[in-house]
Amino acid sequence: MKPHYTFMLAIACALAPAPGSTYARPLEIKLPQETASYKPSTLPGYHLALQNCMTCHSAQYVSTQPSTSTRAYWDATVKKMKKPFGAPLKDEDIPAIVDYLTKTYGAEQAQGTSNAAVTK
Ligand code: HEC
């Protein structure tokens, strides 16, 4: 009996990996959500952090800072990202970002109030 070539070709195509997709996928590194991105918040600095603080490194640097970090520490850190590190931050956005970082990751965290929406 003559083999059904069309059918076999269809199977071969279905099994063949698409170039650049199947082979590349295992190399992707997915960081856990809580360290890779910024903790959601209703504070205006949250969106500013997402826009301004993800271009060079993930939120992991932020989430590994001591939870006792003061507003002055975050202020100095954000300003350091701008200069000398070169983050394209607008000066008028810095206080909101500092406010968000201090209340979400630093010394002004209010457990159960401003972070109520954040699941740990
Ligand atoms: C232009 C690139 C760039 C941008 C944008 C940037 N950072 Fe950084 N960040 C760096 C570099 C470089 C380091 C130092 C990395 C190292 O020491 O290995 C760093 C380190 C840090 C650290 C670790 C503590 C420290 O003082 O080194 C924190 C926290 C941090 N960044 C927060 C932020 C926040 C918040 C933003 C947004 C306001 C931001 N970064 C945006 C480049 C950037």
Q: Do the domain assignments include residue 100?
A: yes
Q: Do the domain assignments include residue 55?
A: yes
- Determine the atom of ligand 1 nearest the C-alpha atom of 88: 5
pLDDT band at 110 (very low <50, low <70, confident <90, very high): confident
What tokens were used for 30? 């997915």
Q: Do the domain assignments include residue 72?
A: yes
Query: Residues 6 or more apart from 89 whose CB is under 8 A from it?
Result: 52, 78, 81, 82, 97
Q: What total of structural domains would you count in the chain?
A: 1
The residue whose CA has the least distance to atom 11 of ligand 1 is 85
pLDDT band at 111 (very low <50, low <70, confident <90, very high): low
Average pLDDT over residues 16-40: 66
CATH code of the domain containing 57: 1.10.760.10
Amino acid at 83: K
Dihedral of CA atoms 43, 49, 105, 108 in degrees, nearest 10, equals: -40
pLDDT digits (tens, 9 = 90+) for 40-59: 999 999 999 999 999 999 99
pLDDT of 90 strictly over 90: yes
Going from the Cα of 105 to the center of ligand 1, the distance in angstroms, rounded, reads: 15
Q: What's this model's pTM, rounded to 2 decimal places?
A: 0.74
Dihedral of CA atoms 48, 49, 52, 55 in degrees, nearest 10, equals: -150
Q: Do the domain assignments include residue 117?
A: no
- Cα angle 29, 32, 37 (rounded to 5 degrees) comes to 100
Going from the Cα of 85 to the center of ligand 1, the distance in angstroms, rounded, reads: 7
Which residue range(s) make up the domain with 84? Answer: 31-104
Q: Do the domain assignments include residue 40?
A: yes
Q: Do the domain assignments include residue 111?
A: no
- Determine the atom of ligand 1 nearest the C-alpha atom of 52: 37
pLDDT band at 9 (very low <50, low <70, confident <90, very high): low
Going from the Cα of 76 to the center of ligand 1, the distance in angstroms, rounded, reads: 11
Q: Do the domain assignments include residue 64?
A: yes
